[in-house]
Copies of this chain bind each other. A is one copy, B any other.
């Protein structure tokens, strides 16, 4: 059977339920802890910050499938299915016997896979009768996705955007405004925590940790508001399973079984979603597929971090999560893959890595951009720097196949478009891009500040 360049599912083939990978994990991811008591966060405690239905999804590690509500499926139909692409041209370029596939999530206005969870979180907020949601955004992908979802549902959306991004990425801000979101540079004087930070450091350009703290305070202080987050959490990986489910359905139509599944990993939302159904098969003993997480050498949480309870935010207002972490005080170098600059890793992926089901490797940003450029020229798509981490690893695996003569099937996640990263491409072309690898002393320092339980 000839495999087409792109496989698009019909609407009636699209997933009707999300897959909860935790149901098939023998060692479940550890629960979130209340940092004040050291005890697992209760449903009630979590409901003060998150929507009720999302708390249920966050806590439930046994139900294998969650029906996708019809309004979310309607929204998915606006921009999904995403194509599963056979990378014929890349295979030809690499002269590899391997078959390479990628699932491309960049064909929507938010430009990445973030929309898959944004609409789910916005929907449950709306269904609970809330007025709006608050969140933070760094590079802007998550904020854009949430703005789009909220505009569709008529929900207020308040985004705290790291000040330096707010100033340096005015176009990201402008898309959010087009979708009716209010975008506040963080730190701001609209929250207590923001005012305190501004008083202490009037010239700060902000940080994701500070923006999280402001967004959480804003949700708590306004009746009818909750806070939402675009990665790391179990609920987010649940929603993102739509990526893997679509990919698996498309591959099954042509009897294709991946030997290796590869994804970039920042907080883990894309990788966790892409691998979900394939990892489920592996956990149930139905396949021996390999899984590779690719992270930047400048922020190597899996490859050089420790598996421990830590804060998800530098402001230390969030619950503790057990994850591979570099320490919540770790400040990653200004790598251009903003979506991968996070000190920790999703608890689900962390547990799978600890148990040996997931491999990890770290790559430098110059080799990532070299791979991105080759890919863009032969496959036509300009990739986001985050996504290009997966491209780099997929190309490396394909080259190994050329050398060994093996005809492996490689699937990787192409999470988004590089339209908003052209400054990074410019620096790469102009030879102004450097690699940065944290030294052991730096890592030891940030790890020494892990919370003691």
Q: A-side interface residues toward B, CB under 8 Å?
A: 4-6, 8, 10-11, 77-79, 89, 107-109, 111, 148, 151-152, 170-171, 174-175, 177-180, 373, 376-382, 417, 419-420, 422-423, 425-426, 429
The SS class assigned to the A binding surface is helix
Taken together as a complex, chains A and B put the C-alpha atoms of A108 and B85 apart, in Å, by: 13
A170 touching B426 by the CB < 8 A rule?
yes
Residue of B nearest to A426 (CB): B174
B376 touching A109 by the CB < 8 A rule?
yes
Taken together as a complex, chains A and B put the C-alpha atoms of A117 and B377 apart, in Å, by: 18
Residues of B within 8 A of A174 (CB): 422-423, 425-426, 429
**With A109-B417, A178-B382, A179-B376 already in contact, 14 other A-B pairs whose C-beta atoms are closer than 8 Å:** A5-B11, A6-B77, A8-B8, A109-B376, A109-B382, A151-B377, A152-B378, A152-B380, A170-B426, A171-B419, A175-B425, A177-B426, A419-B419, A419-B420
Residues of B within 8 A of A381 (CB): 108-109
Q: Using A5-B11, A11-B4, A170-B422 as known contacts, say yes or no to A380 and B78 having CB atoms under 8 A apart.
A: yes
B4 touching A10 by the CB < 8 A rule?
yes
Taken together as a complex, chains A and B put the C-alpha atoms of A417 and B178 apart, in Å, by: 14
Residues of B within 8 A of A10 (CB): 4
Taken together as a complex, chains A and B put the C-alpha atoms of A419 and B379 apart, in Å, by: 20
Residue of B nearest to A77 (CB): B5
A422 touching B11 by the CB < 8 A rule?
no
Taken together as a complex, chains A and B put the C-alpha atoms of A170 and B152 apart, in Å, by: 32
Residues of B within 8 A of A177 (CB): 425-426, 429
Taken together as a complex, chains A and B put the C-alpha atoms of A8 and B171 apart, in Å, by: 31
Taken together as a complex, chains A and B put the C-alpha atoms of A429 and B178 apart, in Å, by: 8
Residues of B within 8 A of A377 (CB): 151-152, 178-180
CB distance from A93 to the nearest CB of B (A): 11
Taken together as a complex, chains A and B put the C-alpha atoms of A222 and B74 apart, in Å, by: 55
Residue of B nearest to A177 (CB): B429
Taken together as a complex, chains A and B put the C-alpha atoms of A78 and B89 apart, in Å, by: 9
Residue of B nearest to A12 (CB): B4
Residues of B within 8 A of A171 (CB): 419, 422-423, 426
6 residue pairs A–B, Cβ–Cβ below 8 Å: A4-B10, A8-B8, A151-B378, A171-B422, A171-B426, A175-B422
Q: Return the contact of A109 from the options B11, B79, B380 (Cβ within 8 A).
A: B380
Q: Using A4-B77, A10-B4 as known contacts, say yes or no to A107 and B109 having CB atoms under 8 A apart.
A: no
CB distance from A326 to the nearest CB of B (A): 31
Closest A-B pairs by Cβ, 10 of them: A171-B422, A5-B77, A151-B377, A8-B8, A174-B422, A109-B382, A4-B11, A419-B419, A174-B426, A107-B107
B152 touching A79 by the CB < 8 A rule?
no
Taken together as a complex, chains A and B put the C-alpha atoms of A91 and B5 apart, in Å, by: 33
Residue of B nearest to A179 (CB): B377
Residue of B nearest to A11 (CB): B4
Residues of B within 8 A of A79 (CB): 380
Taken together as a complex, chains A and B put the C-alpha atoms of A108 and B419 apart, in Å, by: 11
Residues of B within 8 A of A420 (CB): 419
CB distance from A375 to the nearest CB of B (A): 10
Residues of B within 8 A of A379 (CB): 78
Residue of B nearest to A9 (CB): B8
Residues of B within 8 A of A178 (CB): 373, 376-377, 382, 425, 429
B425 touching A108 by the CB < 8 A rule?
no
Residue of B nearest to A378 (CB): B152
